[in-house]
Amino acid sequence: MPFEITDAGMVFLDLSYLIAAVMFVIGLKMLSRPDKARAGNVWAAAGMLLAMITTLIFHKNAEGQNIAFQNILLVLAVIAVASVMGIVIARRVKMTAMPQLVSLFNATGGIASALVALIESGDPGNNSQMVTLLGMATGSIAFSGSLIAYGKLDGKIRDWLSPLMKYINLSLLLILIAMIVFMLLPMADPGLFKMLVYVLFFFSIVYGITFVMPIGGADMPVVISLLNALTGIAAALAGFIYSNQAMILGGILVGAAGMVLTLLMCRAMNRSLLNVIVGSFGGHTGEGGRQVAGSIREISLSDAGILLNYSQKVVIVPGYGLAAAQAQHICSELDTLLSDRGVDVRYAIHPVAGRMPGHMNVLLAEANVPYEKLVEMDHINPDMPNVDVVIVIGANDVVNPAALDDPSGPIYGMPIILAHAAKNIIVIKRGMGKGYAAIENSLFFNDKTRMLFGHAKEILQKLVTEIKGME
């Protein structure tokens, strides 16, 4: 019997999902390079647009009916309003607030998946209930956790550092697991099951809050990446509920990418994911770590300008302070000025610098710093002894030698940028404040280190003026 296509629309729909998945992969791959990230976003967005259009046109329910026209109009209206809101927010947000925006957007993805599962939670004993309950719990945790992360990054919420938090979190996690297992058992009373669904939703929201509350700012890149992975997983589970291959594939890609990135950043800090979640790193009060002896030496702007102007190799180590001062553009101008005079200028990028994965890359890309100048920690560290001057701008723990030689300190074992190995070190800081690990940075007391105290943007502007005045 010859092969026959009984429903060309469904075949085309499945084919569009396959094409969309390929476009997701291409976009995700391009996002790994700052110079191709914008094009990667376009590829991924185009894939999602294709999947949305073909779903609206060709999707059929269990009775074989297409989506009702009024529902299509409603979906398009919501998409239009949300798109306008997204464009306005994205255009107005400052680069220093980009981590908050990522957390906020991640929260919307989590609650969308959770609400899908909440609406579709059917009768007890349904074969799809495990997927539904897991999707609701995961999406709810991602939602509330992302909102707390947003509040902490924006300075609206403080760390909750009670020693009881780890026990509370463990208890809540066990309650969630026990509830899901119990709800998967045969249950005669549908009313009880529906009530338990809302109880599970509530406890999942609470767990998302208590899970993120004790985690300090130094671990925020890891937490944001983990929450992003949870949102991807929740989206994939929602895809299983609707048997939608595009949602499944997209969610799996986001979840897998987020989890791989989370583990890579944990490795970059030489810590396990469990240690990040329960360790509250960044919430220390100075306990642990040896006292640093020595004196602080300052350098004048004119001497700093001369030192940079007559160097052959200069490395800039950016940190969150650079973003907070919005000094990326003037930093790029200093880079261009030195490069035009024959100085080899590069940027040492630590995996967890800033408040979100790739924060420094995004920040410097906005200032049109060439991608090839952004060098990862593992690649630039071997060349540090040959660097004439390293300039540390707003970074602290990621250059602290205590990570290498102080077993009593909270950051011991964390890989760092070997700024102390350079021939000369200039540190631009507003004061002698400690990093998120709350310990002294022995780099500041190094004999080769000179401090430039002041607002990063103003200091860099004055440095540019000094160097321009040199013949």
For CATH 3.40.50.1220, the residue range(s) in the chain are 301-468
The catalytic site residues sit at 397
Please give the average per-residue pLDDT across 360-380, as a whole number: 87
Cβ atoms of 268 and 275 closer than 8 Å: no
Task: Give me the pLDDT at residue 90, please.
Answer: 83
Is-contact 118 136, C-beta < 8 A? Answer: yes
Helices (H) and strands (E) in the chain, counts: 17, 6
pLDDT for 201 beyond 90: yes
Q: Could you tell me which of 89, 125, 90, 131 has the C-alpha nearest to residue 113?
A: 131
On whether the 301-468 domain is CATH 3.40.50.1220, my answer is: yes
State the pTM of this model: 0.79
Which residue, chain included where needed, has tokens 């049109």?
A: 368
Tell me the C-alpha distance between 205 and 269, whole Å.
29
Contact 401, 412 (CB under 8 A): no
To which residue do tokens 């309003």 refer?
81
The tens digit of pLDDT for each residue in 210-269 reads 888 887 666 777 888 899 999 999 999 988 888 788 888 889 988 998 898 888 878 777
Cα distance between residue 317 and residue 98, in whole Å: 20
d(CA 114, CA 141): 9
pLDDT of residue 432: 62
> Residue 191 pLDDT more than 50?
yes
The pLDDT tens digits for 74-131 are 999 999 999 899 889 888 887 667 788 888 889 999 999 999 888 888 666 555 788 8
SS (H, E, C) 397-444: HHHCCHHHHCCCCCCCCCCCCCHHHCCEEEEEECCCCCCCCCCCCHHH
